[in-house]
């Protein structure tokens, strides 16, 4: 009985010692084989290339791109969903922004929207970037995404898109489906898919930054 007791004791201690090492090796392997969110399109137009005079840029930013067109009320529900489920989770990350393209003349409606989410929901709206554009500019930018979606008669869509720091469209490219964008009217889609995909893109850049920092320190 004493021998069995010792065996059990050593076995338990071995598990306690070895298990953390195994977990560490698995996690280390996961970092080395990090799964990136696929690039779906490298030919997205930059904001500058379609003639927009704005300080906002896709370059060096992870952008959530949306199109609200000329009827802001149609997109306000999706905007609130985005704000609560995506923006508030990630806005504190450096180089993260929302880029919402709206028709010129909608300045008052956008001011009202920002006031509501700021005062009623306590949102820091500094990463909400609204771009006021002509209809042909909105259409040109949207077409360059090359997705199966279309703009409605108000140059608007409930879908938003992940644009990486190089200005590439990111999404899921799986056997059963290609996911180009996310329907902001669906909280389930935002929570179940978009949150994970934004996390992956941000983690990719954090990992790259960490590797570059390690290389510099080693030199």
pLDDT in tens, 175-187: 778 999 999 999 9
Residues with Cβ < 8 Å from 179, sequence gap 6 or more?
A: 171, 172, 173, 193, 197
> Which of 21-25, 88-92, 128-132 has the weakest average pLDDT?
21-25
Highest mean pLDDT among 1-10, 20-29, 47-56, 180-189: 180-189
Check if the beta carbon of residue 34 is closer than 8 Å to that of residue 207: yes
Domain assignment present for 31:
no
Q: Which residue has the tokens 């300080």?
A: 55
> What residue numbers bound the domain in which 120 lies?
39-215
Q: What proportion of the chain, given as a percentage, has pLDDT over 90?
A: 70
Number of domains, the chain: 1
Does the residue 51 lie in any domain?
yes
- Give domain status of residue 167, yes or no: yes
User: In this predicted structure, what is the pLDDT of residue 174?
Assistant: 83
Q: Residue 12: inside a domain, yes or no?
A: no
- What tokens appear for 75 in the block? 């997109």
Residue 162 forms part of a structural domain: yes
Q: What is the DSSP letter of 163?
A: E
* Measured distance CA(129)–CA(40) in Å, rounded: 23
For range 88-97, the mean pLDDT = 94
pTM: 0.81
pLDDT recorded at residue 29: 42
CB count, 10 Å around CB of 122? 8
SS3 label, residue 67: strand
On whether residue 17 sits in a domain, the answer given is: no
Domain harbouring 117, CATH code: 3.40.30
Tell me whether residue 11 is in a domain.
no
The answer to the question of residue 4 being in a domain is no
pLDDT at 3: 55
């Amino acid at each position: 009985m004493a021998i069995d007791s010792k065996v059990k004791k050593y076995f338990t201690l071995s598990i306690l010692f070895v298990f953390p090492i195994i977990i560490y090796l698995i996690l280390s392997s996961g970092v080395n084989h990090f799964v990136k969110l696929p690039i779906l399109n490298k030919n997205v137009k930059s904001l500058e290339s379609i003639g927009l005079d704005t300080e906002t840029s896709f370059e060096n930013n992870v952008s959530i791109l949306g199109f609200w067109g000329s009827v802001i009320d149609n997109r306000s529900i999706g905007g609130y969903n985005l704000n609560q489920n995506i923006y508030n989770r990630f806005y504190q990350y450096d180089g993260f922004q929302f880029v919402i393209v709206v028709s010129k003349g909608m300045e008052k409606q956008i001011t009202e929207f920002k006031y509501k989410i700021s005062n009623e929901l306590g949102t820091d709206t500094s990463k909400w970037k609204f771009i006021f554009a002509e209809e042909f500019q909105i259409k040109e930018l949207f077409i360059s995404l090359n997705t199966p979606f279309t703009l409605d008669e108000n140059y608007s869509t409930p879908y938003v898109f992940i644009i990486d720091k190089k200005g590439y469209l990111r999404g899921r490219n799986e056997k059963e489906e290609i996911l180009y964008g996310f329907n902001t009217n669906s909280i389930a889609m935002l929570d179940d898919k978009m949150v994970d995909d934004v996390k992956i893109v941000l983690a990719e850049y954090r990992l790259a930054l960490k590797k570059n920092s390690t290389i510099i320190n080693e030199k």
